[in-house]
Amino acid sequence: MFPLPATPASLISIAVCSACMTWAGAARSETGADLPPSLSTAASAVDIERSTSFYLGRIRADAAYARGLSGAGVTIATLDTGISGTHREFMQAGKLLPGFNAVTGGTDVTDRSGHGSHVAGIIAGARDGRGNAGVAYGAALLPVKIFPDSGSGSTLALDAGLRHAIGKAAIVNLSIGASGSFDPRAMQQAVSSGLLIVAAAGNDGAPTSNWPARFAREAWANNQIIAVGAVDASNRIASFSNRAGDVAAWFLVAPGVGVTSAYRNDQYAVMSGTSMAAPMVSGAAALLMQMWPRLRADQVATILLVTATDLGAPGIDPIYGRGLLNIEKALQPVGALTTTTYNGKTIRVLSGTMQPSAATSAVWSLAASGQLRAVGRDDFQRDFGIDLGRTVARTTAMSLDQMIRGMGRRIEVAEHVFDDDTEMRFARESWTGRNVLQHDAPHSRLAAASLQAHGRGGMQASLALGAFAGQEFGAQGLKLAPDLPLSQVGGLANPYLSLLPANGHVAVAREAAGFRFKAGLVASGTRDPLASTDIYLPSSSPMPRARAGVLEVSRSFDGASMSVSLLQTRESNAYLGSYSSGPLSIANRAATQSVQLAGALLLMPQLALAGQASYGITPGHAGDSLVAGVTDLRTNAFSLALVAADRFSRGDRLSFAVSQPMRTYAGRLTMDVLSNEQARDRLVFSMVPTGREVRGELNYQAPLGPLSSLGMSLLVRRAPNNIADAALDKLLALRYASRF
C-alpha cells in the first residue's frame, strides 16, 4: 500500500492551519543576558520552573511526586523529529537511550525541527530548576526519528519506528497525525507486544480524531491506544483540537495551549497543539507503571481513562471523551478495596466499623497511633497501604441523657404492697417533646416494673423489666436499711451485667442457714419491651443482644451485708461491650465468666459504705477477619461508695462513688494482613489499654414538697474509657421536676 503522509500535528497546524494553531512565542535561549535576575538563587529558579510547567498542577501531578514517583525505571519511546541530545533537559545520565533513525536506518536522531524535543521535554524534562519539568522527569527516553529534516514523513518510517520500540519501551508517544487511515499491522504488532500507545488527536478542529489516534476504537487495539485532545487554560476544548467523536471512550484531554518546553539548540519555545497534550498522558502512564510495575498496558490506559475529571456533558461525550487527565485520582483506588484473610476469605478493607468499649479501648489507641495497617487491592489488583484505624470510632464521652435520661423527663415510681408477701413497683417516664404535628406535647410511657413475692420456707421469686432489671444482684442488691437503697448508686452496678442494657430479669431465692441463695437470668434484646412507643430504624448491622445467668450467695449481719456472685454473660453481635464488623471484626459473640465480691457496712444510722470487686475471663477464639484471633482476655472492675440519707432534708439521698470501670489487664490480639503483593505479616498487639479510668460520681436527690424534686449529678472521669491521653471528662447536671 502506498504510504500516506504522517507529520507532527503541531507542525501541520503551524504550516497550514494558523487559525487552529497558535505559536505563543518565539524560541528563546535561557543563557546569559536573557535570564531574569531572579534565577540567581536556587529557590527562585525552582519557582520559575514550576510556573513554566503550569500543566503539572492542572493534571494534578503533585500527588505522584508526593509519593516519590518520577517515572524512574520506565522507558518512553518518542516517534517524532528526534531529540536534541545536547539540551540541558536531557543531559542526565541514562535519560536518553541510544536512538534510531527510522528514515535512514542509522542512529542519528538529532532534532533539527524542535518539535520532537518539545514533546520529549513535556514527557521527561529534568526537574532541575531550569526551563520546564517533565511530567515523568525520571523516565528514560528512547528517541525514534521518523521524519526527515525536511519535515513530512511517511508511514513506512512510522511502522519501522514502532517495530523498533517493541521490547525496548513500555510506552510510545505519537504526537503525529496522518491525513487518512493506513495499514495498521505495525500498530497491531505494537499492541500485541504490550506497548501502550498515546496518540495526539490532531489540530484540525474536526469532530473526531485523526489517525493513528482513531485506531483506538478498533477491537484489536485492546484498550491500549489513548487518543488525546487539547484544552485551554479554562479547560475548554481548544479551538484547534480535534474532538473525541467516535473514539470518545478512549479519549482524554490535557493542557495544550501555551506550553513551554525544550526546543532545538538548548532553547525553549512556547507551543500549542494536541502534540503538547499527548506527552502529558504518556508521562502520567509512566508514573503509574513505576508505582505498579505489574500493570498491563490496557490496565494503565483504562485507569487513566476512568479516573479523568469529567468535562462537558456528564459522562463520556463526543467532545471531551472521558475528560481531563487527573493523575491524583489515577493513583487512588478504582472500585472497592479488598484484601484476603489468613484463611482465604475476601473482604472489603474499609467496610464495616469498630466501636470499642472501655474493655477493648486498646484498639482505639492502636488505631490512633497508626499501627492498624494492611494492604488492600482495587479492581486492577493494585496494592494500596490502608490505615484500618479509619474504621475505628473513638469511644464517646458521657452525656446528659446517660446520666438523667434527658433533662425534660421525670420518672415517677409507685410502690404497692398487696400483703406481707407481695410487692410491686412501677416507674412511669414522662417528658415533653414533639409529636407528629411538630407541636410540643406531653408524652409518657411505662419505663420499668418489678414484682417480688415471698413464699413459705424462705422462698422468694422476683421479676423485673426495664430500669429495675439487674438491680437484684451484687452490690446493688445488698440490703442494709429500707431508707438506704444501694440499687440507686450506679457505681455499684455489676460491670458484667452492664454489658447488656438489661430489659428484664427473673430470679428465685431461698433463705437457709443464715445465707441467701439466689439464681437468676438477665436478658436484653434490641429494645425495651415496655417501650412500645419507641421507633427503631432498620440497620444493616445486627443489633447486639446479651443474656446472663447469675448464681449468688449473700449473708446479712448486724449492720453489714456481703455477697459472692458468679455470672456467665453471653453476648451476640458484641464483644465485651464493643461492636465490630468488617476487617477489624473481633468476634460476633462472647461468653464471659466472672465473679463479683460485694459488701456493705452501716457506719452509722443513715450512712453506709459499700464496695465491689469484679474479675472476669473471656475465652480466646480464632477470628474470621483480619483479626486472626484473640487470646483469653482477663478483665476487672472496682468501686467504693458512700451512701447517705436525710443529710440535709428529710427524704434526701446522697451518694459518692469512686470506681474503675471494666478494664482488660491481660490478653493479646493477633492480626494477619497482606504486607505486599506476595507476603503476609502476623502482628501481635496487647489488649491492655494505655490508661486506667478512675471515675468519681456525686449524686444528690431531694424532694421539694409533694409535687416537685431536685436532682444533681457531678461526674468526673480521668483517662475516660481507659485511654491515657484522653482529656478529663467532666459533666454536671441539675434537674428540677414538678407536677402541675
Q: Which three cell numbers stand for residue 83?
A: 531529540
Under DSSP, is residue 380 helix (H, G, I), strand (E, B) or coil?
Answer: coil
**Distance of alpha carbon 382 from alpha carbon 331, whole angstroms:** 10
Beta-carbon contacts of 390 under 8 Å, excluding residues fewer than 6 positions away, are 350
The interaxial angle of helices 9-16 and 115-124, nearest 10 deg, is 140
517: its cell numbers = 441463695
Q: Are strands 140-145 and 100-101 parallel, antiparallel or unpaired?
A: parallel
The residue assigned the cell 438491680 is 471
User: Would you call 115 a catalytic residue per the annotation?
Assistant: yes
Cβ atoms < 10 Å from Cβ of 133: 27
How would you classify the pairing of strands 560-572 and 100-101?
unpaired
List the catalytic residue out of 115, 118, 164, 505: 115
What are phi and psi for residue 51, nearest 5 degrees? -65, -40
CA–CA gap between residue 687 and residue 148 (Å, rounded): 72
What is the distance between the alpha carbons of residues 78 and 82, in angstroms, rounded to a whole number?
8
Contact 523, 643 (CB under 8 A): no
d(CA 510, CA 459): 4
Closest CA to 253 of 334, 203, 323: 323
How many other CB atoms sit within 10 Å of the CB of residue 117? 33
C-alpha grid cell, residue 149: 529534516
CA angle 135, 140, 143 (to 5 degrees): 105
Question: C-alpha cell of 220?
Answer: 484489536
Task: Give DSSP secondary structure letters for 534-547.
Answer: ------SSPPPEEE
The C-alpha atoms of residue 643 and residue 657 are separated, in whole angstroms, by 8
CA distance 140 to 142: 7
CA distance 450 to 461: 11
**HEC string for 290-344:** HHCCCCCHHHHHHHHHHCCECCCCCCCECCCECEECCHHHHCCCCCCCEEECCCC
Is 275 annotated in the active site?
A: yes
| Sign of the dihedral through C-alpha 398, 400, 401, 404 | positive
Task: Kindly state the greatest CA–CA separation across the chain.
Answer: 118
CB 535 within 8 A of CB 436: no
Cα separation, 685 vs 617, whole angstroms: 18
What ranges in 359-490 are assigned the alpha helix state H?
Answer: 362-368, 400-404
| 557 exposure class (CB count in 10 Å sphere: 0-12, 13-18, 19+) | exposed
Q: Report the distance separating Cα 118 and Cα 140, nearest Å.
A: 15
Which residue is associated with the grid cell 458521657?
Answer: 398
Q: How far apart are CA 27 and CA 418, in angstroms?
A: 106
Q: 103 vs 12, 96, 146, 211, 260, CA distance in Å?
A: 19, 19, 6, 20, 28
Q: Examine residue 184 and say whether the peptide bond preceding it is cis (omega within 30 degrees of 0).
A: no
**Which long-range contacts link 676-683 to residues 24+ away (Cβ below 8 Å)?**
676/375, 676/383, 677/294, 677/375, 677/383, 680/342, 682/628, 683/371
What is the rounded CA–CA span in Å between residue 268 and residue 132? Answer: 9
Instruction: Provide Rg for the chain, Cα atoms.
Output: 38
Alpha-carbon span 173 to 276, nearest angstrom: 11
Type of residue found at 475: A
Catalytic position from the list 13, 80, 361, 655: 80
H or E segment at 283?
helix 274-291
- Please identify which of the residues 275, 357, 498, 581 carries the catalytic annotation: 275
Residue whose cell numbers read 415471698: 454
Residues recognised as catalytic? 80, 115, 275
